[in-house]
Amino acid sequence: MYLEHFGLQTPPFALTPDTRAFFDAGVHREALNVLLVALRSGEGFLKVTGEIGTGKTLLCRRLLADLADEGYVTAYLPNPFVAPNGLRAALADELGLDYPRNLGQHHLLRLINDRLLELSAEGRSVVVVVDEAQSMPDATLEALRLLSNLETEQQKLLQLVLFGQPELDERLAQPALRQLRQRISFSYRLAPLPAELVARYVDHRMRVAGSGGERIFADRALRRLARASGGVPRLVNILGNKALMAAYGEGVRRVQAHHVKAAARDTETVASSGAMGQRLLPGLFAAGVLLVLAGWALWRFGLATGSGAAL
């Protein structure tokens, strides 16, 4: 609801994985390059890990978009907590196969293999991307490994990319999964953004949101944002959004360090102990929240009455 106040067209720090907001620099660009080069060279099994909030899902979506542009056939499995049969059924659905739901697994696997051979004959490569792979049961991880056995004499019929939290590495270190671990030819670990890139990240998000290049965050605010977030993109987004609300509550068009401080006090994952962490809504931030809520109520009232007043 503060968009008009700051001259923005869309929320700059939305947590949904919008590929337009992909930060094409630093570790994210490096990880994307590693994945694209490895897939183009025919590598069969790739893995990307990173802590919560480091941008794995957005990187995953950007990879899928780039592969589609290059003519790859992609299968995206965002919810891997399924049994092996569920994995094969999900892959068949992604490949566009029409089959009876009571079809036996042996026959379903044959259908998948035949479809992969058809695509290979057309010169099209298939990439399966699994998000949140640390949640995949051991038996399903083994089924995934067996799918990677599908191949011709010249090439793999499937290439697989696993995205997961660091727990995935711990899972793969188990002796029972050593065969899968040995299949992984390329790995990348996403790290938080260094402080100097946090400012560029914020500027990028603001430009995508329509700021027109205007610097809305002061330098000191950006430095405090980098410290408070630890360079984790999701925390940067949460704190950046709250800092904008705090500035809006003050009626100013430039975010200062004390706005970020108020945002950090309100965010459980970054609030420090003591008096700062005990106050859920500092007065400055609360004012911003109340103004945003009031604006939202007026906007909704305008829609209901037909006045069309929008913020």
Please indicate, yes or no, if residue 311 is contained in any of the structural domains. Answer: no
9/93 same-domain check: no
Residue 212 has what pLDDT?
A: 85
213/232 same-domain check: yes
pLDDT band for 271, please (50, 70, 90 cuts). low
Please indicate, yes or no, if residue 310 is contained in any of the structural domains. Answer: no
Most confident of 15-19, 134-138, 275-279: 134-138
Number of domains, the chain: 2
209/87 same-domain check: no
Tokens found for residue 70: 């290059």
Q: Please give the residue that has the higher pLDDT: either 153 or 163.
A: 163
35/173 same-domain check: yes
45/134 same-domain check: yes
- Domain extent at residue 84: 24-190
Tokens found for residue 102: 């009571």
222/185 same-domain check: no
Last residue of a domain, one of 165, 190, 215: 190
**What dihedral angle (degrees, nearest 10) is formed by the CA atoms of 28, 140, 173, 171?**
70
Tell me the pTM: 0.83
Separation of alpha carbons 39 and 49, rounded Å: 17
Last residue of a domain, one of 150, 169, 190: 190
pLDDT (tens digit, 9 = 90+) per residue, 83-94?
Answer: 999 999 999 999
Q: Please give the residue that has the higher pLDDT: either 284 or 233.
A: 233
Residue 284 has what pLDDT?
A: 47
Return the bridge partners of 189, or none.
49
Task: Give the distance between the most distant pair of CA atoms in the chain.
Answer: 68
Q: For the range 113-119, what are the long-range contacts, defined as Cβ-Cβ under 8 Å and sequence gap of 24 or more? A: 113/150, 113/157, 116/150, 116/157, 116/158, 117/152, 117/157, 119/73, 119/157
The CA-based angle 219-270-226, given to 5 degrees, is 25
Q: What is the mean pLDDT of residues 15-27?
A: 92
11/28 same-domain check: no
Indicate which CATH number applies to the domain containing 34: 3.40.50.300
Distances from the Cα of 116 to the Cαs of 45, 47, 104, 170, 185, in angstroms? 17, 22, 19, 31, 22
| Of 4, 1, 7, 12, residue with least CA distance to 208 | 12
Separation of alpha carbons 114 and 97, rounded Å: 10
Separation of alpha carbons 238 and 240, rounded Å: 6
45/183 same-domain check: yes
